[in-house]
Amino acid sequence: MEIKISSNARDIAKRVGKKGKELSDSVKRALSRTAQAGVNIIEDRTAEGKGIDGAFRKYSPSYQKAKSSGWPKTNKRRGFGGDSTGIVNLSVHGTMLGSMTTRANGKQAEIFFTRSTEAKKAERNNKTRPFFGFNRKEEKRLGQVFFRNLK
């Protein structure tokens, strides 16, 4: 008596490999979109004068006066028309927040600054007015973005 067993192990391995790659691509895409949502959260919150844990500490009176009148152009900085709103939004020209970007792979996503000068500005600002990060409510929202984009 002879028993023959046939296996389609190669076909199964191909299918598993294909599904694994699709899953990996899906995770990478979801992480990328989640990181971009994180950038949007930071930018929107900062524009409203809020940091990770609430409103930013107010500007000093001398800084507020200089900012509202507009700094003159010098060799080291551009001038601007002034901002009399008093909202602490960490933005004079928008270059620091504008240089925030993201990258993702299949395991993690990262939010970072593309230029070292802007990264240094962000580091200084983050010490006195923490803005670069997320509170629990925002983390929950980012988790929802991730799972919604995981297909």
In whole angstroms, give the CA distance from residue 117 to residue 114: 9
Contact 62, 75 (CB under 8 A): no
Q: What is the pTM of this model?
A: 0.78
141 within a domain of the structure (yes/no): yes
65 within a domain of the structure (yes/no): yes
The confidence score (pLDDT) of residue 114 equals 94
The confidence score (pLDDT) of residue 37 equals 95
The confidence score (pLDDT) of residue 63 equals 78
2 within a domain of the structure (yes/no): no
The confidence score (pLDDT) of residue 1 equals 43
Task: Please count the structural domains in the chain.
Answer: 1
89 within a domain of the structure (yes/no): yes
The confidence score (pLDDT) of residue 4 equals 42
pLDDT-flagged residues of the chain (< 70): 1-20, 71-84
1 within a domain of the structure (yes/no): no
Buried b (16+ CB within 10 A) or exposed e, 84-106: eeebbbbeeeeebbebbebebee
